[in-house]
A and B are shown apart, each in its own frame.
Chain A
Amino acid sequence: MIYAITQLSYIVATALFIFSLHWMSDPKTARWGVYSGVAGMLIAIVATWVQPEIIIHHGWIIVAIAAGFAVGIPLSQVPLTAVPQRTALSHAFGGLAAGLVGTAEYFLWLGGEHENITTFRMIAVIVEIVLGYLTFTGSLMAAGKLQGIKWIPQRPVTYSLQNVSNIGLIVVTLVLGTALVMNPLTGWSATVFMVIIGLSLLFGVLLILPIGGADMPTVISILNSYAGLSAVAMGFVLNNKLLITAGALDGASGLILSIIMCKAMNRSFVNVLFGAFGQVQETKKEGEEERVYKSETPEGVAHILEHASLVVIIPGYGMAVSQAQHKVRELYDQLKKRGITVKFAIHPVAGRMPGHMNVLLAEANIPYTDLVEMDEINSDMPQCDVALVIGANDVVNPAARYDKSSPIYGMPIIDADKAKTVFAIKRSKNPGFAGIENELYFLDKTWMLFGDAKAVMGDLVKQLSGANSSH
Chain B
Amino acid sequence: MHLETLDYWSMLFVFVLSAFIGIGVIRRVSRLLHTPLMSITNAISAIAVVGSIIVTGSEHPLPIRILGAIALFSSMTNIVSGFLITDRMLKMFKVKKKNK
Contact = CB atoms under 8 A, between A and B. Distances in A.
Interface of A: 3, 13-14, 17-18, 20-22, 24-27, 30-31, 33-34, 37-38, 40-41, 44-45, 48-49, 53-58, 60-61, 63-65, 67-69, 71-73, 75-78, 80, 83, 86-87, 90-91, 93-94, 96-98, 100-101, 103-105, 107-108, 111, 113, 116, 118, 120-121, 220-221, 224, 227-228, 230-232, 234-257, 260, 346, 348, 353-356, 358-359, 362-363, 365-369, 371, 373
Nearest to A217: B34
30 contacts: A22-B25, A25-B28, A30-B36, A30-B93, A37-B40, A37-B44, A37-B86, A41-B83, A48-B53, A60-B57, A65-B72, A76-B82, A76-B88, A77-B88, A78-B85, A86-B39, A97-B46, A97-B49, A100-B52, A104-B71, A113-B1, A120-B6, A121-B6, A221-B38, A242-B47, A256-B23, A257-B38, A356-B35, A366-B97, A373-B31
A105 B60 CA distance: 10
Nearest to B82: A90
Contacts of B36: 24, 30, 355, 359
Which residue among B31, B55, B68, B74 has the maximum number of chain A CB atoms within 10 Å of its CB? Answer: B74
B48 A98 contact: yes
Contacts of B87: 31, 34
Given A37-B43, A234-B51, A365-B94, A358 B80 contact: no
Contacts of A239: 3-4, 6, 11
A133 B30 CA distance: 31
Interface string B73-100: 1111111111111111111111111100
Given A34-B83, A363-B92, A367-B94, A243 B51 contact: yes
Return the 8 tightest CB-CB contacts between A and B, nearest first: A68-B76, A72-B80, A252-B22, A355-B34, A250-B45, A76-B84, A355-B35, A55-B57
> Main SS of the interface on chain B?
helix
A61 B56 contact: yes
Given A108-B60, A235-B11, A94 B78 contact: yes
Nearest to A358: B32
B19 to A, nearest CB: 4
Given A97-B78, A348-B31, 6 more contacts: A56-B58, A65-B72, A67-B76, A72-B79, A97-B72, A248-B15
A189 B95 CA distance: 59
Interface centre among A75, A113, A253 (most CB of B within 10 A): A253
Contacts of A27: 30, 32-33, 90, 93
